[in-house]
Structure formats: structure tokens, C-alpha cells
């Protein structure tokens, strides 16, 4: 078994969530790495969509941005930006939205706008892009973020992308098309929303990680499932392909 880093574990676990044939709206960074790894290993018929308008793209190397020329060169087609949102997202044609953020709270709401107040922020972040629409309209949302206390907070400074808002049925009350986040993949384990309260709950740990380590890196009292499972470690072929993608 090859040695692996926490980031590699997180990316591989995220890739395992994608099944073959799904349409996936992909963000740059960890979501892109996970989605392309899945396409190379077990989901060759997955349709990867980027906000630049590329559909069915098959990059050999991980793209640096949504404007990376390889996304266009290897795509099945390129459509105008309004069509991505009007036809694909609003038309209920995106199975998975793959997102990350700077902050997340216990109900999987995401912040990628500001740290601090909106009018006088400590840090102004890259902003929303298409994330709010993806979070509200994709049939299902996967979130991938390294587990850090400054990111997993009791209350986020700004809701950029809606998870389950205040929990329970508050999301469905607003009539969002998508079902919301189904999984939060971190570098220590996996969180999933409670079926009733929608509060994120620790359901799986990575090999060698303790529940206490997860709690230490979260800014609220974490709910823990009765039977927390241990995730299978990365297989050699998964690690090899991920490293090839990063080097290409």
C-alpha cells in the first residue's frame, strides 16, 4: 500500500461518490480533481460541466481555472453561459453539484463571499460565481473542504450558497428544486445531514482518525452517528492516477 496524504485521501473519497453516467457541475480545485479522478477510474461516462460553458470535457491534466483552454479543447460541446444555467441547471439536468467554500456551518450553508461583515469585511473572498444556483438547483450537492476550525464555524459570516439554512424543512419551504447537500467530505472523515434536523453528523472516519480529532477542528458540538464506519484507505491505482493528473 502506497503512503498517502490527508488531501489525497479526501480527494479519492470524494471521487468514489460519483457514479458512472451522472452529469456533474464541477468547481475548480478539489472538486475538479475528484471529478476527473472518478472519470478516469470508474465513471468514464460521467458528464463534467464547467461554468465556462464546457460540457462533457475530458482534460488530461487538472485545469487551473474554468478558462483553461484544455477544458474547451477536450469538451463535447461549448455553450453560452446563460444556457448552462437556464437549460442545464434550471432544467433539472444536473445530477451533482460539486462545491467547496471558505466557511461552512452545521446545516451545510457555505460562505465564499466575505469574512467579517459584508460592508466592512476582514477578507473579501472570490465571491459567489455560479455556486448559489448550483446549490439550489442541482439534484444533489457534494461538498469537499479540509476540516479546520476557522472554516467549520458555528455561524458563517455570509450565506453565499444555501445548504439547509436553519435546518429541518427550512430549505424545502423556500421551494428549491434540488435536495441540497448529501455529503461533506473532509480530510479527516465524512459528515452527512441528519434525515430530520438536517444537522451535519459524523458518519465515517478515515483510517487512524479518532472522533476527538474531528471535534477539535469543528466550531460547534458535533453530532456523531451511533455506528461510525471506517473508510477504506486509498488503493494504489487511485493514488497513482491522482498523482498522474496533478503532474500532467
pLDDT tens across 181-210, in order? 999 999 999 999 999 999 999 999 999 999
Distances, alpha carbon 61 to alpha carbons 68, 87, 237, 244, 246, in Å: 10, 28, 17, 8, 7
Residues 142-155: what's their mean pLDDT?
96
Residue 174 to residue 47: CA distance in whole angstroms = 29
Q: Is the dihedral of CA 126, 50, 184, 213 positive or negative?
A: negative
The DSSP letter of residue 18 is P
pLDDT tens across 61-110, in order? 899 888 899 999 999 999 998 999 999 999 999 999 999 999 999 999 99
pLDDT tens across 123-139, in order? 999 888 889 999 999 99
User: Is residue 2's pLDDT more than 80?
Assistant: no
Strand, helix or coil at 24? strand
pTM exceeds 0.75, yes or no = yes
* Domains identified in the chain and CATH numbers: 6-247 (3.40.1080.10)
Residue 108 to residue 126: CA distance in whole angstroms = 19
Residues 211-225: b if buried by 16+ CB within 10 A, e if exposed: eeebeebbbeebeee
Residue 37 to residue 30: CA distance in whole angstroms = 11
Residue 95 to residue 109: CA distance in whole angstroms = 19
Strand, helix or coil at 171? helix
Report how far Cα 94 is from the mean position of its chain's Cα atoms: 14
Catalytic residues: 51
Helix/strand/coil percent split, the chain, to 5: 25, 25, 50
> For position 177, what pLDDT does the model report?
87
Residue 183 to residue 140: CA distance in whole angstroms = 9
Q: Radius of gyration (Cα) for the chain, nearest Å?
A: 17
Residue 130 to residue 122: CA distance in whole angstroms = 23
Burial class (CB in 10 A: 0-12, 13-18, 19+), 90: middle
Residue 159 to residue 111: CA distance in whole angstroms = 5
User: Is residue 45's pLDDT more than 90?
Assistant: yes
Amino acid at each position: 500500500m502506497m503512503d498517502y496524504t490527508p488531501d489525497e485521501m479526501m480527494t479519492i473519497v470524494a471521487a468514489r461518490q460519483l457514479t458512472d453516467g451522472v452529469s456533474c457541475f464541477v468547481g475548480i480545485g478539489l472538486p475538479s480533481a475528484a471529478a476527473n479522478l472518478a472519470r478516469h477510474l470508474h465513471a468514464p461516462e460521467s458528464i463534467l460541466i464547467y461554468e465556462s460553458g464546457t460540457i462533457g470535457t475530458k482534460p488530461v491534466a487538472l485545469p487551473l481555472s474554468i478558462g483553461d483552454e484544455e477544458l474547451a479543447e477536450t469538451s463535447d460541446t461549448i455553450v453560452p453561459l446563460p444556457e448552462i444555467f437556464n437549460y442545464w441547471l434550471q432544467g433539472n439536468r444536473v445530477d451533482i453539484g460539486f462545491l467547496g467554500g471558505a466557511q461552512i456551518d452545521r446545516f451545510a450553508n457555505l460562505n465564499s463571499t466575505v469574512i467579517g461583515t459584508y460592508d466592512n469585511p476582514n477578507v473579501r473572498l472570490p465571491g459567489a460565481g455560479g455556486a448559489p444556483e448550483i446549490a439550489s438547483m442541482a439534484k444533489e450537492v457534494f461538498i469537499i473542504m479540509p476540516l479546520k476550525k476557522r472554516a467549520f464555524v458555528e455561524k458563517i459570516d455570509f450565506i453565499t450558497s444555501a445548504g439547509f439554512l436553519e435546518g429541518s424543512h427550512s430549505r424545502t419551504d423556500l421551494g428549491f428544486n434540488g435536495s441540497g447537500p448529501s455529503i461533506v467530505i473532509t480530510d479527516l472523515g465524512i459528515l452527512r445531514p441528519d434525515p430530520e434536523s438536517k444537522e451535519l453528523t459524523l458518519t465515517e472516519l478515515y483510517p487512524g482518525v479518532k472522533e476527538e480529532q474531528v471535534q477539535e477542528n469543528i466550531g460547534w458540538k458535533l453530532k456523531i452517528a451511533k455506528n461510525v464506519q471506517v473508510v477504506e484507505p486509498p488503493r494504489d491505482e487511485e493514488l497513482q492516477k491522482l498523482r498522474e493528473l496533478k503532474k500532467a
